[in-house]
Structures are given as structure tokens and as C-alpha cells.
């Protein structure tokens, strides 16, 4: 059992099959209240499938999923009273004006759009644009409107599937700041993305999904610490023999006196090795999310995922 | 929330619906003028007697029929005329096709599904839409007929109760068409597919009903056709909807809605 005390999303051993295709394979994870949780994976990994299950659009084949304490399928209406969900930009009514679309979304949400103005300001969606019908909008403008419609009623949980798709970089940064403000005001954000930079800038916690299974989950910093750091060492008298046999070290580049290594887990064996060789300069750099992510995807053989399954 | 969704559904494709409604109004308004231009009931009787029997069968008119039913019988033919049927059925099928399958295809259904609205409420808004459209198109024809009768003043009499019965029959028929199309929409993700399925069934049903007059081998299949129960002549002439029509249209429409709902409530919506 996972800890449900302060979890807004609690997913346990969720599997989803479409005929012979296994879209989700025993996914287990929790999203703590007050976090910005990134759900990271390439296209087709199962991110959207899990979101559809959480929203009650589709039924899981087996397992259990609760959102805000309510079963996602059987009691989803009560959960959705407190959720804001980002529909795809194409899922807006093209015959409505921007204002009409937002009003309609607010009306069927049953809650007043108290955050509308601040979101529109942050996303720079102006009055003139909002009076036009959506048929005249660019993809980016429709995405801004969809984001506003999702969050305008101050939801307790915001579920966003690829939220910044189609936004220009400046607006993307404004939106990321907005998410931090929402989090600070008590809203939990669960967002899927394949944009590693966005997740790294925005999220506190992250789950990495591959082929329908969670292969890593945890706080962003802890996740990075668990995986390889990049270490660059310049030796006084050339690169000594045996460095690539040090526990946890993988040499990735050699150039004269300089060696570049990936270091997994404990740094002490490396420090012990270096103690016997004069070092001119040493730099330890924490990994970027991209490196962590790629390490998951490159190590296909023998990897055990977060659910205890071999993938 | 059901009201908000219903309004949204009806506003979608409103221009097309109004265009079809205008066509129904115009067609039924003109029909009394046609009757008048042919000399009323007796003039029509003489004219039809000149036609070969096969043509009379295809037109579903005969001198004996006109002698018995008069102008009301002739006017009743306007309600199973292909133009009227195509216009009113098109409105129902287009609406129901958009209401679920179209919204799945475009992704707009996610907007309703992601809100605190039960699937039953979402489906109920669609049922309400079918009921509203069936009522509007059912009533529109007889209203236009009445206006046409007032303007053309053909020889013969059509009473208000006859037109009210015709409105009820038309609404019941369209309710059934809407129910069947909504059921098809509940299992599909494309408006085009719903239109194709519904049109396919209705065209076959129409031809079975019409050609059974000429080709006796089709006679046993006639009760399977919805048009068999769309008895415009009896309804118009007697001034009341046949009980069998009420039972079949009400029952089939309701059954189709229930089957549609059973699929809608359990369906995976990939939106």
C-alpha cells in the first residue's frame, strides 16, 4: 500500500490494456499535496493514458486510482469538483469567442473564474483576441485559452497534459512562474511533459515512465543524486591507469591530462583513488535532468523499475 | 449544467439546422398551393386517374384514395414525401452525429467529461437535444401547412386537430430517428460514420416500405421498416396518431436511447 495521508493522487498497480497493447503496466505512485509533479516520458510511454484514467475518461484494466480521495472511475464527479484539467487546444469549440469559451467552461465547472484575469495577464491574452472566435486563433493562442479555462476556477488539483505545447519560450516561462504561484497558494499540479527543461525548471517531484511502467519516481534533487554526476579531473602527470576500474566510474572522454567521467552513487572510492595521484583541478557537476533521463533510457538491460519489475 | 450543455449543443451547427428548418417550412407551405392549382380534391382525383397504375403506386396516390380522403389525404402525402423526410431526418442525424461522435472526434467532449458532470447528465443533455429538435421539426411542418392552407384556400377542409395529430406523429417519428442515430453516435468517434450508418438504414427502410407496394416479396419485411409505422394518411384523415405508431416509435426510440446510454456510461473516451 502507498501512503495516502497527504496524497492528492494515489495510483496503485494500475494496468491498462487496449486489446493486445499494454499501455500501462502496474503503475504505482503518489502525488503529494502542494507539489508540482512532473510525469516524464517520451511520446507513447503511457503519460496521457494515466491522465485519462485519473480523469475518468477511460477505465483501468486492473488496479486502483484515487484522486483527492475519490475513486477516479466510480466517484470521479466528486473529484472533478476540485480539479482543473487542460483539454487539448483542438478540443475547444471553434465557433465560440475566447470569452464565451471561458464562460462556458466556468459555467459547467460550477465555480467562479476567480483566477481568470491573472492567468490572462500572465499569458498575454488580450481583450481584442478574446472577442474573436477560436477559429481565428493560432495554436499557441488556443493553448493559452485552454490553460486559462483549466485553471481559472482555482482548482485544488491541476492536471495538465503537455501544458506548454505550442507556447513561445517567453510565455512558457511566465506560465511556469504562474504554476509556482499556484503551488504556493495551495494548488497541486500534476503535469505530463516530454520537455525535460520545462520539468526541471518547474517540478519538485518527477516520475519517469517508459513503455507503460514507472522506472523512477522521487524528488527532483534526490533523483539527480541517485544517478550519475559528471566529474572532470585534470591530473598533474597524465591520466593514471585504473581510473576506469574505480567503483561507480564510467570514463566518457579522455583528452591529454583531462578525464571526464560519469560517477554513480558514492564519490568516496573515486576520492580514495585520486588521493594517490596528484590532481591539478577537479570539477563535480550535478547531473541535469536530461542526463538522468537519458541514463534511464539507455540502460535497458538489467534495469529494475520503481515497481519492482524488470523492464 | 444540463441546460448549459444543451444550449451549447443546439448552437453548434445552428445555421445548418435553421437552413433545413426553412426548407421544411417552405415545402409544407407550398403543398396547399399545389393542391389548389390542381383544382382541390376533385381536380387531383381526375389528374391521378390519368396516371398509369405503377405511377400511382409510386406516388402513393390513387383516385379511390383521393375520393375517400379528400384534400387531407393529399396533404398527408407531403409528410412522407422524400423532400420532407430528407430535410427533417438530416437535421436529426446531423445533430446526433455531432453530439457524441463529433465531439469525441474533435476532442470537445473532454471539456464536459473533465468537469464535475456525471456521464448521465452529459447523455441526458443529448437526449434533451433530440427531444427539442424532434418537437421543433415535428411542429414546424403542420404550422407551415396551416399557413399555406390559409393563404392558398384550396377546395376541401383540413382541421386543426388533423394538423396537431400530424405534428405528434412527425415528432414521434423524428424522436425515433434521433434515438437510433444517438445510439450509433454513442459507439462511434466520427460524425461521418454516424451519418453513413443512419442513412444506410433509413434508405433501405424507405425503399422496403415503398417498393413493398409493387413487389410482394418485400411485404414480410415491411414491419421492420420505421416508415411502415409513419402512417401519415390515417393520422391526417382520422385526426389521431395510430396506437401502433405511438407504441413502436415511443418504444424503439426509448430502447435505442437506453442502449446508447449503456454504451456511453462504460465507454473509454480517448479524448
Q: Phi/psi at A89 (nearest 5 deg)?
A: -60, -30
CATH topology of domain A228-286: Alpha-Beta Plaits (3.30.70)
Place of cell 559528471: A230
Closest CA to B135 of B99, B91, B94: B91
pLDDT at residue number B190: 93
Residue A231 CB: number of other CB atoms within 10 A?
A: 20
Q: How far is B113 from chain A (nearest CA, A)?
A: 7
pLDDT in tens, A44-59: 889 999 999 999 999 9
**What is the overall mean pLDDT for chain B?**
92
Q: Phi/psi at B153 (nearest 5 deg)?
A: 50, 55
Residues of B within 8 A of A55 (CB-CB) are 113-114
pLDDT at residue number A217: 87
User: In this model, does residue A132 exceed pLDDT 50?
Assistant: yes
Closest CA to A157 of A78, A90, A102: A78
* A59:B268 CB<8 A: yes
Question: What's the sign of the alpha-carbon dihedral A244, A248, A250, A255?
Answer: negative
pLDDT in tens, A212-253: 999 888 888 777 766 667 899 999 988 998 998 898 888 888
Question: What's the sign of the alpha-carbon dihedral A31, A32, A33, A35?
Answer: negative
Alpha carbons B82 and B78: distance in angstroms, whole number: 9
pLDDT in tens, A158-190: 999 999 888 888 888 999 999 999 999 999 999
Q: How far is A85 from chain B (nearest CA, A)?
A: 6
Cell, residue B27: 415545402
pLDDT at residue number B40: 76
If one looks up domain A7-220 in CATH, what number appears? 3.40.50.300
Tell me what percent of chain B is helix, strand and coil, each rounded to the nearest 5: 80, 0, 20
Residue A298 CB: number of other CB atoms within 10 A?
A: 9
Closest CA to A131 of A98, A156, A167: A98
Strands of the sheet with A249-255, listed across from one edge: A249-255, A258-263, A229-235, A279-285
Residue B117 CB: number of other CB atoms within 10 A?
A: 24
Please state the pTM of the whole predicted model. Answer: 0.85
DSSP state of B80: S
Rg (chain B; Cα; Å): 20
- At A304, is the secondary structure helix, strand, or coil? strand
Residues of A within 8 A of B112 (CB-CB) are 108
- Residue among B10, B108, B116 with most chain A CBs within 10 A, to mutate: B116
* A91:B107 CB<8 A: yes
Cell, residue A52: 485519462
Half-sphere exposure of A227 (CA within 13 A, CB side): 22
Top mean-pLDDT range of A3-7, A64-68, B45-49, B77-81: A64-68
Cell, residue A260: 571526464
> Which of 64-123 (B) contact A at CB < 8 A?
106-118
Average pLDDT over residues A80-106: 93
Closest CA to B180 of B192, B198, B196: B198
Residue B216 CB: number of other CB atoms within 10 A?
A: 8
**What is the overall mean pLDDT for chain A?**
87
Q: How far is B3 from chain A (nearest CA, A)?
A: 10
A298: confidence class by pLDDT, cuts 50, 70, 90: low
Alpha carbons B108 and B117: distance in angstroms, whole number: 14
Place of cell 415503398: B210
The answer to whether the CB of A282 falls within 8 A of the CB of A232 is yes
B56: confidence class by pLDDT, cuts 50, 70, 90: confident
Listed in sequence order, the residues at least 6 apart from A209 whose beta carbon sits closer than 8 Å to its beta carbon are A27, A39, A40, A41, A45, A46, A47, A50, A215
Q: Which residue has the higher pLDDT, A34 or A288?
A: A34
User: In this model, does residue A272 exceed pLDDT 50?
Assistant: yes
Q: Where are the domains of chain A?
A: 7-220, 228-286
Do the strands A83-85 and A157-161 form a parallel or antiparallel pair, or are they unpaired?
Answer: parallel
Alpha carbons B199 and B32: distance in angstroms, whole number: 29
pLDDT in tens, B167-216: 999 999 999 999 999 999 999 999 999 999 999 999 999 999 888 877 88
User: In this model, does residue B55 exceed pLDDT 80?
Assistant: no
A4: confidence class by pLDDT, cuts 50, 70, 90: very low
Across the interface, which of A57, A80, A92 has its CB nearest the CB of B116?
Answer: A80
* B116:A110 CB<8 A: yes
* A108:B115 CB<8 A: yes
Alpha carbons B27 and B84: distance in angstroms, whole number: 7
Residues of B within 8 A of A83 (CB-CB) are 114
Identify residues of A whose CB sits under 8 angstroms from chain B CBs: 52, 55-59, 77-78, 80-81, 83, 85, 87-88, 90-93, 95, 104-105, 107-110, 149
Alpha carbons B263 and A59: distance in angstroms, whole number: 13
The answer to whether the CB of A279 falls within 8 A of the CB of A233 is yes
Three-class SS of A82-146: CEEECCCHHHCCCCCEHHHHHHHHHHHHCCCCCCHHHHHHHHCCCHHHHCCEHHHCCHHHHHHHH
Listed in sequence order, the residues at least 6 apart from A155 whose beta carbon sits closer than 8 Å to its beta carbon are A82, A83, A84, A187
- Chain CA centroid to CA B43, Å: 29
Across the interface, which of B5, B107, B116 has its CB nearest the CB of A77?
Answer: B116
DSSP state of B270: -
Listed in sequence order, the residues at least 6 apart from A114 whose beta carbon sits closer than 8 Å to its beta carbon are A152, A153, A154
The answer to whether the CB of B218 falls within 8 A of the CB of B212 is yes
* A57:B269 CB<8 A: yes
Alpha carbons A114 and A148: distance in angstroms, whole number: 11
Amino acid at each position: 500500500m502507498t501512503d495516502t495521508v497527504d496524497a492528492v493522487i494515489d495510483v496503485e498497480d494500475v494496468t491498462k490494456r487496449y486489446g493486445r497493447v499494454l499501455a500501462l503496466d502496474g503503475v504505482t505512485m503518489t502525488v503529494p499535496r502542494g507539489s508540482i509533479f512532473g510525469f516524464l516520458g517520451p511520446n507513447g510511454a503511457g503519460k496521457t493514458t494515466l491522465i485519462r484514467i485519473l480523469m475518468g475518461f477511460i477505465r483501468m484494466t486492473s488496479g486502483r486510482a484515487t484522486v483527492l480521495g475519490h475513486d477516479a472511475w466510480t466517484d470521479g464527479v466528486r473529484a472533478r469538483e476540485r480539479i482543473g484539467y487542460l483539454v487539448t487546444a483542438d478540443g475547444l469549440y471553434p465557433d465560440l469567442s475566447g470569452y464565451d469559451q471561458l464562460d462556458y467552461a466556468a459555467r459547467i465547472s460550477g465555480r467562479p473564474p476567480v483566477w481568470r484575469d491573472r492567468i490572462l495577464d500572465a499569458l498575454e491574452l488580450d481583450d481584442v483576441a478574446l472577442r474573436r472566435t477560436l477559429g481565428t486563433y493560432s495554436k499557441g493562442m488556443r493553448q493559452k485559452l485552454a490553460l486559462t479555462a483549466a485553471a481559472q476556477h482555482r482548482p485544488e488539483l491541476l492536471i495538465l497534459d503537455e501544458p506548454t505545447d505550442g507556447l513561445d519560450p517567453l510565455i512558457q516561462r511566465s506560465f511556469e512562474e504562474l504554476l509556482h504561484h499556484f503551488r504556493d497558494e495551495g494548488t497541486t499540479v500534476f503535469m505530463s511533459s516530454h520537455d525535460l527543461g520545462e520539468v526541471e525548471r518547474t517540478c519538485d517531484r518527477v516520475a519517469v515512465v517508459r513503455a507503460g511502467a514507472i522506472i523512477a519516481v522521487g524528488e527532483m534533487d534526490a533523483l539527480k543524486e541517485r544517478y550519475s554526476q559528471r566529474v572532470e579531473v585534470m591530473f598533474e602527470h597524465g591520466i593514471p591507469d585504473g581510473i576506469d576500474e574505480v567503483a561507480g566510474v564510467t570514463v566518457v572522454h579522455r583528452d591529454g591530462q583531462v578525464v571526464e567521467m560519469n560517477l554513480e552513487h558514492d564519490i568516496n572510492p573515486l576520492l580514495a583513488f585520486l588521493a594517490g595521484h596528484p590532481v591539478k583541478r577537479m570539477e563535480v557537476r550535478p547531473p541535469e535532468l536530461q542526463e538522468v533521463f537519458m541514463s534511464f533510457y539507455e540502460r535497458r538491460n538489467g534495469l529494475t523499475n520503481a515497481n519492482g519489475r524488470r523492464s | 449544467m444540463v441546460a448549459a450543455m444543451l444550449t451549447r449543443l443546439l448552437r453548434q451547427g445552428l445555421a445548418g439546422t435553421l437552413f433545413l428548418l426553412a426548407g421544411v417550412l417552405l415545402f409544407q407551405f407550398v403543398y396547399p398551393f399545389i393542391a389548389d392549382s390542381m383544382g382541390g380534391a376533385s381536380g387531383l382525383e381526375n389528374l391521378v386517374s390519368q396516371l398509369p397504375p405503377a405511377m400511382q403506386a409510386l406516388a402513393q396516390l390513387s383516385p379511390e384514395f383521393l375520393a375517400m380522403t379528400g384534400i387531407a389525404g393529399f396533404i398527408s402525402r407531403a409528410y412522407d414525401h422524400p423532400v420532407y423526410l430528407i430535410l427533417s431526418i438530416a437535421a436529426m442525424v446531423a445533430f446526433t452525429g455531432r453530439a457524441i461522435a463529433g465531439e469525441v472526434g474533435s476532442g470537445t467532449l473532454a471539456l464536459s467529461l473533465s468537469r464535475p458532470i456525471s456521464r448521465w447528465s452529459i447523455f441526458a443533455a443529448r437526449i434533451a437535444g433530440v427531444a427539442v429538435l424532434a418537437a421543433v421539426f415535428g411542429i414546424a411542418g403542420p404550422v407551415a401547412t396551416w399557413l399555406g392552407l390559409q393563404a392558398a384556400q384550396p377546395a376541401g377542409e383540413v382541421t386543426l386537430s388533423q394538423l396537431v395529430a400530424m405534428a405528434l406523429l412527425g415528432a414521434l417519428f423524428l424522436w425515433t430517428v434521433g434515438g437510433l442515430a444517438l445510439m450509433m453516435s454513442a459507439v462511434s468517434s466520427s460524425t461521418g460514420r454516424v451519418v453513413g450508418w443512419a442513412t444506410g438504414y433509413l434508405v433501405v427502410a424507405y425503399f422496403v416500405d415503398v417498393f413493398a407496394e409493387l413487389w410482394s416479396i418485400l411485404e414480410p419485411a415491411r414491419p421492420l421498416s420505421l416508415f411502415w409505422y409513419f402512417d401519415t394518411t390515417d393520422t391526417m384523415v382520422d385526426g389521431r396518431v395510430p396506437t401502433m405508431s405511438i407504441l413502436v416509435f415511443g418504444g424503439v426510440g426509448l430502447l435505442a436511447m437506453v442502449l446508447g446510454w449503456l454504451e456511453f456510461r462504460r465507454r473509454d473516451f480517448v479524448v
